């Protein structure tokens, strides 16, 4: 789960949109002053901006109309992102889209890296390396392959397998514990893939509930199978959850067994599963809240839309989020018994039997 929460930061930081598109009309500039522009009986507040290339232009704010003017949202001397557009009349328009946040984002991410290193030491460093490898697979393998017209589901499965193998082994090292966690992850991922395929089919989802996916179908990516793209997103999202639970649960089994090698398989399974159920109870709620929190503005908009609740739930947008949440939670639930049984069998099976035999002889 922790990888999912910082994917957006890391991808935008290390692989900005400019690396994915040949043309880029974005630049930066510094606001020098604000002014009121009157034209055709309308007044609009504009900003005089000195662009990075030295040009001084007048720019307007590109967000939806708001009672707050430019001067209330930005300040003189502030660095902003400016988009240069060609209008239908042939004139060049300059639009302020956002404050320039990259330095602040870098500071936040560096702070996170430092926190990971201080608490996790070298294990924290290897986990960050696993994160970088995961992002690299998504950016340089999954996204280009899907953009080229390959099956999103097949590409996601291959990519998810690569992410699981590289990230888990990099973060946790090569050991029997790691191999058991990896095996449990891949096994649960296959089950999650089957469940998500069934869920998407029975609910007749087309993969167009997301605004970005809807726009893509009219562009150069119209050949993409959007239902497969939806499945691909669900699978990759589920993988982030599985990584957490399988490694933690396998470690719990191993540590309980080391603390008391004389435990029978049945007792070890029960004690380990008890730990897993506590993790499960809290994490399922966490997943639901994470999705709800990300969709809070959307939920607020729907609350005042006047549309019946059943119609909102039935809509593609909400239906997709429900399926994502359910499949992610179901994957987590299944991963607990699968990883626990794998760990008891492969890590403690032989040793437990030997310990029990020794104890009976004593």
Q: In terms of residues, how long is the chain?
A: 362
- Rounded to two decimals, the pTM is 0.72
- How does residue 42 score in pLDDT terms, banded at 50, 70 and 90? low
What domain count does the chain have?
2
In a domain? residue 233 = yes
Cα–Cα distance for residue pair 174/183, rounded to 1 Å:
13
80 near 28, Cβ under 8 Å? yes
Cα–Cα distance for residue pair 100/184, rounded to 1 Å:
43
Helix (H) or strand (E) holding 44: strand 42-51
Q: Positive or negative CA dihedral for 166, 172, 175, 176?
A: negative
Same-domain pairing of 256 and 309:
yes
Q: What is the separation of C-alpha 85 from the centre of its chain, rounded to a whole number of angstroms?
A: 31
Same-domain pairing of 176 and 307:
yes
Same-domain pairing of 60 and 185:
no
pLDDT digits 0-9 by tens, 106-135: 999 999 999 988 988 888 888 888 888 899
pLDDT digits 0-9 by tens, 203-246: 888 877 676 776 777 766 667 788 888 888 889 888 877 888 89
Q: What is the separation of C-alpha 57 from the centre of its chain, rounded to a whole number of angstroms?
A: 38
Same-domain pairing of 231 and 298:
yes
pLDDT above 80 (res 168): yes
Mean pLDDT of 173-186: 91
Q: What is the DSSP letter of 141?
A: I
In a domain? residue 72 = yes
Cα–Cα distance for residue pair 131/151, rounded to 1 Å:
25
pLDDT above 90 (res 329): no
More confident residue, 326 or 104: 104
pLDDT digits 0-9 by tens, 78-88: 999 999 887 66
Q: Domain range holding 43?
A: 26-100
Cα–Cα distance for residue pair 326/328, rounded to 1 Å:
5
Q: Give the Cβ contact number of residue 282 at 10 Å.
A: 9
In a domain? residue 224 = yes
């Amino acid at each position: 789960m922790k990888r999912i929460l910082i994917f957006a930061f890391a991808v935008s930081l290390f692989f900005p949109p400019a690396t994915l598109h040949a043309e880029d009309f974005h630049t930066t500039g510094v606001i020098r002053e604000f002014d009121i522009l009157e034209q055709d009986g309308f007044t609009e507040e504009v900003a005089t901006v000195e662009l990075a290339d030295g040009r001084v232009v007048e720019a307007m704010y590109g967000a939806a109309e708001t009672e707050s003017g430019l001067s209330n949202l930005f300040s003189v001397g502030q660095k902003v992102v400016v988009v240069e557009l060609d209008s239908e009349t042939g004139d060049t328009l300059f639009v302020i889209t956002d404050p320039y946040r990259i330095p602040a984002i870098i500071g936040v991410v560096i702070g996170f890296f430092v926190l990971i290193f201080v608490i996790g030491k070298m294990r924290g460093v290897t986990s960050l390396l696993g994160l970088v490898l995961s992002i690299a697979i998504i950016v340089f393998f999954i996204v280009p392959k899907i953009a080229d017209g390959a099956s999103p589901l097949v590409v996601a499965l291959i990519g998810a397998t690569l992410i699981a193998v590289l990230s888990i082994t990099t973060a946790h090292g090569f050991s029997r514990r790691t191999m058991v966690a990896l095996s449990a992850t891949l096994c649960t991922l296959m089950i999650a893939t089957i469940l998500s395929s069934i869920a998407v089919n029975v609910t007749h989802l087309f993969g167009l509930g997301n605004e970005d996916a809807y726009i893509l179908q009219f562009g150069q990516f119209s050949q993409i199978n959007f239902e497969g793209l939806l499945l691909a997103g669900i699978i990759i999202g589920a993988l982030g959850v599985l990584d957490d639970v399988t490694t933690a649960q396998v470690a719990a089994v191993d540590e309980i067994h080391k603390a008391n090698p004389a435990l029978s398989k049945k007792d070890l399974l029960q004690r380990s599963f008890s730990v897993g159920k506590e993790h499960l109870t809290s994490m399922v709620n966490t997943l639901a809240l994470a999705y709800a929190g990300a969709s809070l503005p959307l939920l607020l908009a729907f609350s005042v839309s006047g549309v019946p609740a059943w119609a909102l739930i039935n809509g593609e947008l909400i239906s997709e989020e429900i399926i994502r949440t359910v499949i992610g939670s179901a994957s987590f639930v299944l991963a607990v018994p699968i990883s626990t049984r794998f760990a008891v069998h492969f890590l403690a099976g032989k040793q437990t039997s030997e310990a029990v035999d020794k104890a009976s002889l004593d």
